[in-house]
Structure formats: structure tokens, C-alpha cells
Amino acid sequence: MTTSYPSPYKIGKIYYFKYTDSNGQRYKKSTGQLRKSDAQQFIRKFIDQKRSGISPDITLRSVIKLYQDPSTNPKRIQASVTATNYSERYASHIAAYAKELETVLSKRMKKILDKPLCEVIRMELKDAAFHIVKEYGKSNKSVKIYKLLKSLFGQAADDGIIAMSPAMGLPDIKYKTKTRTALPAEDIKLILSHPEVFPNEKARRLFTVFAMTGMRRSEVLAINPEQLKGDVLVVDRAFKDDLMKVVGLPKWDKIRVIPLCETVATVLHEAFEEDPDSDEPLRITTPTLNTWFKTIRTHALALKLERPEAWKSMTPHVLRHSLNTNLRLAGVYDVLVAEYLSWEHQGMNAVQEGYTHIYANNLRPVAEKIEKMYMGEIQRRVRVG
């Protein structure tokens, strides 16, 4: 028996068609296609889907929600059965991107979120790419968010939720990767030995903590006295907004315990003693932090630096990247560096009673290396040529 399909017709540049549902109700629907052959293919898929009994109640929002929790992530669940590698860390990354995806679609394409997954068309996914770039720029974040959007349609097709993925063959968002700059250890050591570089004492303390812990800006500005246990810091809080009014868990919800080198421990204790009534004695506004770092960059360039050009783009994140690079160049094992900087997850055990100092002791060599690397005797360089 031959299956009949509605014929497409044009309204403006887009092809539409009419169909009758199982209750005899007549509907008009856009294919979102500009070419008749593409419209006919869309109609065949749509009608076949209707006749297959695939549920129209599964919306894009409900599928995105599944990816926001690693325990309900369809790809991770499938990987646990097929023994495919899909780590907890990667699932946590995907969960964060899924939340960002829902946020940007809620702001810019609200109707698509509550649309049945089987009715989302290719043109809408192209529009989503445009709005993601509009929100986050041509960045790595945009690339990851759009890839997630496309992949969840692929997984839905694989699971039989939709007949075919409308994202099939759509190109990724393209962007040019920025070259990351690492500041030499000797340069950072030189800056730390010149207090006149800093506009004030708080700026010096902030720079010291950024440089010698590799902590993220949101983590450093949210440091609370209760996090400091002697010379051990429990990194379990961070500001989640630019106005620094919302405090939550660090990036990717990763809590870690790190031993502090002697210099940083002293700096933090001084900050807490100087401002005992403050919950976050290192907190300052983003414009103020940017102004202070601009001053530090300007004053630093007056010194005899090994790589002065690198200091022109010095930021808290550059200091984090530099610590990673310098520790590895100094021979510290990659796994220890990764754990210290939170790229390897210690797990909740790290902050449970009795475990804090065990995890801290494992990373003690990292703290000792940082102290020696950034606070030791400055090696005078002799330029040849």
C-alpha cells in the first residue's frame, strides 16, 4: 500500500503544507525549507513520524534538562552500558553547557524550548547558532554549546524519539583560538620582589594569591576566613555573577583542598586580621580589579623583564595559565598540577571530616615548589649577543 503525503506550497519564500491529525483536526505547518525537494523530504519525515506514534510531548526543554544532570545524561547512561569512555568530569562540563543553552534560548528563542522535539526544523537550529554567537561571541563556549544542541538531536534520533536529526550535516561554529601567554617564573618572582609595582597593599595581596595559587578570579574574590584551615584552603565557594552578589560552588561545581605555600598563607592571614568583620576581605569590583591590573602591567614594564611583551596582556587568568606552565617546566607531575588547579576532581571526600589534610599532604610538594619558584633568589640573566 502506497503512503500518500501532502503537497508543499509556497507562502513567500518558504514551503508549507497541510495535514490532518488522528482526531480529524486540520493544520497548516511550515517546513522551514526554501527548496521544494527539501520541503518534500521534511513532509515525508513529519508524516512518517506522526504515523509511527512517536510522542510529540517530548519538548526541546525537557531533553536539555536531561543533560543538565550527569545522572540523567542520555549519552552517559548509554556509555555506562556500552563501556564507552564518558567521564564524570565531561558529564559535569556538559551539564554546565546545557544550562547555558537553556538560558540563551530562553532569552532569544523562547518558543523553540517548549516545541515538540520532532517539530524543530533545521532553520531553527541555524537561528540558534546565530543567537548563541550573539550571546557569547565566536568563542570556545559558543562552539561547545552549539555542538551540544546538535548532538542531543542525534542522540534523540538514535533513541527513536525523533525519526531523523534536523541537525545532521550542519556545520559547527568556527572561531580562531587565541594563543595563550605564559609569564616566565623569573618575571613573576621579579614583580613580587618589587612592592612599588602595586597601587596598594590589597592589590599586592590579590596579585600574590592569583599568581601563587592559580585560583580563578571568582574563587579568589570570594575567599572567606572559614575556608582557611591553618595553611590549607578549602576551595568550595565562588562568585557566580559579575556583580558579586551570588555565591555558589566553584566552576563545574568542583570543590578541592589545596595546601598553600608560606607566602600565600601569610598574605591571607594578614588580610583576615586587617578586616576581621568582612566575609570576603579580598573582594573588589571588576572595574577596580581591571584598573589595578592595568597599573601593575604599566609599572612591571619599567623593570628588566625576560618577556616584557607577555606582560601587556597580563590578567588573573594569565597568571593561572602561567602557574600551570611553570610548575610543569619545573618538573612537577602533571597529575599533581591538574589536581592543584582543579582540572582533576578530588571528589566530595576531600572536604569531609578527616580527609582535608590527607588531600592537602598529597599536594604539599606543589605548594613547596611554588614558594621556591616564585619567592626564591632571583637568577640574574645574562643576555648574549
256, β-bridge pairs: 235
What confidence tens digit (pLDDT) does each residue in 325-380 have? Answer: 999 999 999 889 988 998 755 444 444 444 445 456 789 999 999 999 999 875 54
CA dihedral 211, 215, 218, 220 (to 10 degrees): -70
Last residue of a domain, one of 158, 177, 194: 158
Q: How far, CA to CA in Å, does 377 sit from each of 213, 308, 373? A: 20, 20, 9
What confidence tens digit (pLDDT) does each residue in 259-298 have? Answer: 999 999 999 999 999 988 888 999 999 999 999 999 999 9
The answer to whether position 308 is within a domain reads yes
Q: Kindly state whether residues 362 and 215 are assigned to the same domain.
A: yes
The answer to whether position 384 is within a domain reads no
Q: Kindly state whether residues 231 and 138 are assigned to the same domain.
A: no
**142-153 mean pLDDT:** 96
Name the domain count of the chain. Answer: 2
* R_g over Cα of the chain: 27
* Mean pLDDT, rounded, of the chain: 88
CATH number assigned to the domain comprising residue 284: 1.10.443.10
Residue 45 half-sphere exposure, CB side, CA atoms within 13 Å? 20
Q: Kindly state whether residues 91 and 212 are assigned to the same domain.
A: no
Given a cut of 80, is residue 241 above it in pLDDT?
Answer: no
pLDDT at 45: 80
The answer to whether position 2 is within a domain reads no
Given a cut of 90, is residue 197 above it in pLDDT?
Answer: yes
Q: Kindly state whether residues 208 and 121 are assigned to the same domain.
A: no
pLDDT at 385: 38
Q: Kindly state whether residues 150 and 229 are assigned to the same domain.
A: no
pLDDT at 215: 96
Given a cut of 60, is residue 86 above it in pLDDT?
Answer: yes
Last residue of a domain, one of 140, 158, 176: 158
Give the least confident one: 115-129, 158-172, 227-241, 357-371: 357-371
Given a cut of 70, is residue 384 above it in pLDDT?
Answer: no
Q: Kindly state whether residues 266 and 192 are assigned to the same domain.
A: yes
**233-237 mean pLDDT:** 94
Q: How far, CA to CA in Å, does 7 sit from each of 13, 42, 283? A: 16, 11, 64
Binning pLDDT at 50, 70 and 90, where does residue 83 land? low
More confident residue, 193 or 48: 193
259, β-bridge pairs: 232
DSSP 92: H
The cell numbers describing 33, all together, are 525549507
Q: Domain range holding 284?
A: 185-375
More confident residue, 10 or 90: 10
**Which sign, positive or negative, has the C-alpha torsion 255, 257, 261, 267?**
positive
Q: Kindly state whether residues 211 and 150 are assigned to the same domain.
A: no
The answer to whether position 151 is within a domain reads yes
pLDDT at 232: 94
Strand intervals (E) in 230-274:
232-235, 238-239, 247-248, 256-259
Last residue of a domain, one of 123, 158, 193: 158
pLDDT at 382: 39
Q: Kindly state whether residues 221 and 79 are assigned to the same domain.
A: no
Q: Kindly state whether residues 204 and 144 are assigned to the same domain.
A: no
The answer to whether position 166 is within a domain reads no
Q: Kindly state whether residues 195 and 60 are assigned to the same domain.
A: no
Q: Taking the complete model, does pTM exceed 0.85, yes or no?
A: no
3-class DSSP state for residue 257? strand
Q: Kindly state whether residues 286 and 347 are assigned to the same domain.
A: yes
Residues 6+ apart with CB under 8 A from 29: 16, 17, 18, 19, 46, 119
3-class DSSP state for residue 231? coil
The answer to whether position 20 is within a domain reads yes
The answer to whether position 1 is within a domain reads no
Q: Kindly state whether residues 154 and 189 are assigned to the same domain.
A: no
The length of the chain in residues reads 385
- Residues of the chain with pLDDT > 70: what percent? 89
pLDDT at 2: 55
The answer to whether position 70 is within a domain reads yes
**Helix pair angle (364-375, 185-192), 10° resolution:** 70
Binning pLDDT at 50, 70 and 90, where does residue 88 land? confident
Q: Using CA atoms, how far apart are residues 251 and 254, in angstroms rounded to an integer?
A: 6
Helix runs in 10-121, H state only: 36-52, 60-67, 74-82, 88-108, 110-113
The cell numbers describing 87, all together, are 567521564
